[in-house]
Amino acid sequence: MYIVMLGAPGTGKGTIGKILSKDLNLTHVSTGDIFREQINRKTELGKKIEGYIESGALVPDDVVIETVKTRLLEPDVENGAILDGFPRTAAQAEALKYFLKENKPEAKRVAIELDVPDDEIIRRVVNRLICTNKSCGAIYNKETKPPKEEGICDVCGSKLKKRDDDNKETVTKRLEIYRQNSKDLIDFYRVNNALYSIYPKDVDIAVKDIENFLEEYKSKK
168-187 binders of ligand AMP (CB under 6 A): 174
64 binds ligand AMP (CB under 6 A): yes
Give 85 or 137: the residue with its C-beta nearer to ligand AMP: 85
Helix axes 31-40, 44-55, angle to 10 degrees: 120
Task: Give the three-class secondary structure for 72.
Answer: helix
Q: Single out the catalytic residue among 108, 145, 163, 173.
A: 163
| DSSP string over 145-212 | B--SSTTB-TTT-PBEE--TT-SHHHHHHHHHHHHHHHHHHHHHHHHHSEEEEE--SSHHHHHHHHHH
Amino acid (1-letter code) at residue 31: T
Strand order of the β-sheet with 160-161 is: 139-141, 128-131, 160-161
Q: Single out the catalytic residue among 13, 71, 109, 124.
A: 13
Cα–Cα dist 198/113, whole Å: 6
Give the one residue of 7, 17, 85, 137 binding ligand AMP; rule: CB under 6 A: 85
29-48 binders of ligand AMP (CB under 6 A): 31-32, 35
Q: Single out the catalytic residue among 134, 174, 190, 208.
A: 174
Cα–Cα dist 58/192, whole Å: 24
Could you tell me the smallest distance in angstroms from the CB atom of residue 35 to ligand AMP?
5
Q: Single out the catalytic residue among 18, 71, 88, 124.
A: 88
17 binds ligand AMP (CB under 6 A): no
C-alpha pair distances (Å), 100 with each of 3, 45, 105, 166: 12, 24, 6, 32
88 binds ligand AMP (CB under 6 A): yes
Give 38 or 110: the residue with its C-beta nearer to ligand AMP: 38
Does the annotation mark 88 as catalytic?
yes
Stretch that binds ligand AMP, among 27-35, 40-48, 106-114, 127-135 (CB under 6 A): 27-35
Give the one residue of 9, 12, 137, 200 binding ligand AMP; rule: CB under 6 A: 9
Closest residue to ligand AMP in the complex (CB): 32
Q: Contact at 8 Å (CB) between 45 and 53?
A: no
12 binds ligand AMP (CB under 6 A): no
56 binds ligand AMP (CB under 6 A): yes
Q: Which residues, other chains included, contact 182 with Cβ-Cβ below 8 Å and sequence gap of 6+?
A: 6, 8
- The DSSP secondary-structure symbol of 109 reads E
Active site residues: 13, 88, 128, 163, 174
The contact set with ligand AMP (CB under 6 A) reads 9, 31-32, 35, 52-53, 56-59, 64, 85-88, 92, 165, 174
